[in-house]
Amino acid sequence: MSTKVPQNNTDHEIDLFLISKSIGRFFDRINTAIFRSIQFLIRNWIIVVTLLLFGFGLGWYFDSSKKSFQNQIVVSPNFGSVDYLYSKIDLIDSKINAGDTIFLKNVVGISHPKAIKKIEIKPISDAFKFVEDREPNFELIKLMADEGDINKILIDNVVSKNYTYHTISFISTELVNEKDFIEPLLKYLNSSEYFDSAQKIGYNSMKQQIAQNDTIIAQIDNVLSGFSNTVKNTNKNDKLVYYNENTQLNDLIKTKQYLVVEQGRNRLKLLSFDKTIKEINSTLNIKNTKSLNGKLKFIFPVLFLFLFLFLNFLFKFYKKQLLKEKLIEP
């Protein structure tokens, strides 16, 4: 037993020596490759500098000529027009992809249709506003949350399309302005006869509701004022009065509080009820830096240098294999 242990230790030491030697050779090859690459670049520095300058200049030209801008319009679809709005944006996007500039110019009204490259619409996630004072919406969220991930549910079409605000985004190849792009687009989106009628009815109904609530609040104030005067007269007569908790006084006060809050919401709604698709705000001409936009002046020099090194490697590889083939031939 004892005679085998030294043999195993010796084998183990030999293995470690071979591994360390192999690792050393590997790093030596890397150092040699780096050194030869530096030598190659120094020998061909004129070509390298020329390629870098040419690539930078060419990339700068393409970056300057190929402009791209991101534009966003935040809108609020009213009177149940969410699906209508999404279908209209999808239609415009399909016409852009098809290159139908006649439709975009004559029907939508965009004066420079070729400048528009893509358009899409997405909801602005606002779960708190979605469930605010809306018990059915809150119950819907709870029910759906029991069956899946809450984050996925909040962006699901069933939920997200019912958010108050939505963002229309489109990419343009030139600077846009309100008159030539935004106003025609919103006019086209508000050109439905059905929703025009719905808008007029909804607007007048909201005004009537506000007026009616004001009347009810005034009546409640009169009742409370009369009750207050009764209490004052009772105190003057030095008579002790007991009030039952079941009286409708607390209900009146709660009703007034509810109506006051509702009036505030209704007046805010009235601001956007003058149109079916109401523009909230717009942000135009944001320089698009996504993907390769604006980066070609840095990408082209690296690409040209890589191609030069790769072609040189292929040339050397071909010469080496050709030499081996000649040595093999009898």
Asked if residue 191 belongs to a domain, the reply is: no
Q: Is the same domain home to 262 and 298?
A: no
Asked if residue 118 belongs to a domain, the reply is: no
Q: How far apart are CA 90 and CA 84, in angstroms?
A: 10
Q: What is the pLDDT of residue 2?
A: 47
**Phi, psi torsion values for 146, nearest 5 degrees:** -70, -20
Q: How far apart are CA 157 and CA 185, in angstroms?
A: 24
Q: Is the same domain home to 270 and 297?
A: no
Asked if residue 317 belongs to a domain, the reply is: yes
Closest CA to 189 of 72, 260, 79, 278: 278
Closest CA to 161 of 137, 183, 184: 137
Q: How far apart are CA 34 and CA 290, in angstroms?
A: 34
pTM over 0.85: no
Task: Please say whether the dihedral angle defined by the alpha carbons of residues 7, 11, 17 and 18, taken in this order, is positive or negative.
Answer: positive
Asked if residue 153 belongs to a domain, the reply is: no
- Number of domains observed in the structure of the chain: 2
Q: Which domain holds residue 224?
A: 197-275
pLDDT in tens, 82-91: 999 999 999 9
Asked if residue 263 belongs to a domain, the reply is: yes
For 211-247, letters b (16+ CB in 10 Å) and e give: eebeeeeeeeeeeeeeeeeeeeeeeeeeeeeeeeeee
Q: What is the pLDDT along the chain (330 residues), one digit of tens a residue?
A: 444 445 555 655 566 666 776 777 777 778 777 777 777 778 888 888 888 888 888 877 776 667 788 899 999 999 989 999 999 999 999 999 998 999 999 999 988 888 888 899 998 876 556 555 555 555 555 555 555 555 555 555 555 667 888 999 998 888 888 888 999 999 999 999 999 999 999 999 999 999 999 998 888 888 877 776 666 665 555 544 444 444 567 788 888 888 888 888 888 888 889 899 999 998 888 887 666 666 777 788 888 888 888 888 788 777 777 777 776 655
Q: What is the pLDDT of residue 235?
A: 54
**Under 8 Å between Cβ of 124 and 166:** yes
Q: Is the same domain home to 268 and 220?
A: yes
Asked if residue 113 belongs to a domain, the reply is: no
Q: Is the same domain home to 243 and 299?
A: no
Q: How far apart are CA 295 and CA 152, in angstroms?
A: 34
**Phi, psi torsion values for 122, nearest 5 degrees:** -140, 145
Closest CA to 89 of 230, 218, 277: 277
Asked if residue 76 belongs to a domain, the reply is: no
Q: What is the pLDDT of residue 147?
A: 57
**Under 8 Å between Cβ of 41 and 48:** yes
One-letter amino acid identity for 326? K
Q: What is the pLDDT of residue 233?
A: 61
Q: Is the same domain home to 205 and 258?
A: yes
SS3 assignment, position 75: strand
Q: How far apart are CA 207 and CA 180, in angstroms?
A: 33
Asked if residue 71 belongs to a domain, the reply is: no
Q: Is the same domain home to 302 and 271?
A: no
Q: What is the pLDDT of residue 88?
A: 94
| Strands of the sheet with 166-172, listed across from one edge | 116-123, 166-172, 69-77, 277-287
- Give CA 98 to chain center in angstroms: 24
